[in-house]
Structure 1
Amino acid sequence: MIPWSDGILLPEFRVGRSIVDFLAVTDTLHAVEIKSDLDNTSRLDSQLHDYRKIAPLVSVMASKRVVERVLAAREFETVGLHWLDANGRVETVRDAEFSREYLDSEVLMRSLRRAEYLRVLSALGSTVPDLPNTRVFSYALAASRDLDPLIFHNAVADQLRERKPRAGRTLIARLPEPVRPAVLKLDPTRQQISSLQDWMNQEVANVYA
């Protein structure tokens, strides 16, 4: 479904004015938005624009109606599209294509915790000097703007892998077979698996309704 290798899954990750449902973190960032026919999709376009500022890979897992809407928008031709059929199987319309065009170092930095963006800048040779707390953020933000967005993104991905959650994986067996290979390579929490399972069950119920 979504080509992750060794990585983690971060739920409800803030990106600018949006919150992506899941951010898959490997050596790159992959934003995954989940929508059903019951969800309000009026902000979907602006959400996808926001996600592309931090993630070279963006995917939507949604109902067929929502997927077809995104498919018709040429501006989102690099966005991966997946939908659930009546049997709960994930159907892939297309996989996400890597795109660095919209990456924004400032948005990436604002998505991190203070300790994280300080470590990212230090790793890239832009150590923040000893400043009053009120000035640290402004200095770091200015420093991030001078860095190549892709290089900054790579350092951010390395840093975010340190957030790796630890939880049991017994609930994975309840997920549809096509989803398991991707999820097994991650380390999601019980709540994340439960949320994904609830959404899939609701989608199947909507199809039969």
Structure 2
Amino acid sequence: MDKLFTDVFDSKVFNEELKKNYNFLKNGYRNEFFFKNTLFNKLVLGKYSLTTTAAFAEVIVKKSKADFVLINRNKGMVYEIKTDLDNLDRLVYQLDDYSSAFNLVYVVTSEKNYYPVYKVVKELNPSVGIIVLTENVNLSLRRKAIENDSNLNHEVLFKLLRKKEYEQILLMKYGTLPKVTPVLYFKTSLHWFKEINIKEAQSLVFYMLRQRNDIEGKSLLKALPMEIRWLVYTSKFKYSDLLQIYDKLNLS
């Protein structure tokens, strides 16, 4: 924590430089971080809340890595980001992978990329929604995602979980855990998981994922400059660390 802010830290200078650099991203280099930070501020902190919602980056789903995943209560949404720096070569395959675990999938892109993305979605993934990050940094819903349960897959959902998480689900459903040799434990646990109705299984997985980001200091996070909220959120600081950041930035 001490490495983040030194004793000679000047909050005024820091905030000025922060806004200056963030404006550079806004006006000329809207990279993936800029998109993720905007999604976090507009959706998690704006539309929903930290109490009911958790967000994740780089979630591996089959052979793809989801840029931004949002779990609101027991509903999960994937936001695949396509900036002006990205190409769309793998988009159709990525969207197919995401739909095996999430029934609400969006592509978030720029105005420049809207029509190329729309063409892919309209022809090959009609249930996928499209959001455009506008020049004024608003999220413009151009095509609403349609809930699609047809591709949900038990094994893909199961592999989103850590061992303790899928064990907790099995205990909730069966009251016990597989009594097999270690080499058969994962396979047997998956077999048990597959016996759960797919929608209930998905809901249980989302519940477990949301518990990972049950962070302390939620109110402090929202009080931080909007430019660094996503960075701080994903850094998993302790409450005492958030207090230090808050104090160093002279926000009290």
TM-score calculated relative to the size of structure 2: 0.64
Residue equivalent to 1:41: 88
Q: 1:14 aligns with which of 53, 60, 68?
A: 60
8 Å contact kept, 2:178–2:189:
no
Residues 65-104 of structure 1 deviation map (CA, whole Å, 9 limit, x = unaligned) = 4332332233322212111222323221022222211111
Query: Corresponding residue for 1:136?
Result: 185
Alpha-carbon RMSD across the aligned residues, in angstroms, is: 2.6
Distance 2:150 2:78 in 1: 15
1:69 maps to which residue?
116
Instruction: State the AA in 1 paired with 2:226.
Output: A
Letter in 1 for 2:150: E
Instruction: Please point out which of 102, 118, 128 is paired with 1:55.
Output: 102
Match of 1:105 in 2: 154
Amino acid at match of 1:112: L
Give the number of equivalent residue pairs.
Answer: 182
Residue in 2 that maps onto 1:169? 222
Q: Distance in 2 between matches of 1:131 and 1:40?
A: 47
Say if 1:173 and 1:63 are closer, same or farther in 2 by CA, change over 3 A: same
What displacement does 1:17 show?
Answer: 0.9
Amino acid at match of 1:32: Y
Partner of 1:190: 232
Of the two, which has the highest radius of gyration? 2
1:31 Cα deviation (Å)? 0.9
CA distance in 2, matches of 1:95, 1:58: 9
SS in 2 for 1:31: strand
Match of residue 92 from structure 1: 141
**Unmatched runs of 5 consecutive residues or more in structure 1:** 176-186, 194-209
- Tell me how far 1:127 sits from its aligned partner: 4.0
- Report how far residue 165 of structure 1 moved: 5.0
Structure 2 equivalent of residue 25 of structure 1: 71
Unaligned runs of 5+ in 2: 1-41, 236-252
Identity %: 26
Gap change, CA 1:11 and 1:105, over 3 Å in 2: same
Q: Deviations over 1:38-79 (max 9, x none)?
A: 123211111111111111111111123433233223332221
Q: Which has the higher contact order (CA 8 A, sep 6+)?
A: 1
Contact 1:128–1:139 (8 Å) recurs in 2: no
| Secondary structure in structure 1 of the residue aligned to 2:113 | helix
Partner-residue secondary structure (3-state), 1:64: coil
- Are the aligned partners of 1:109 and 1:141 in contact in 2 as well (CA < 8 Å)? yes
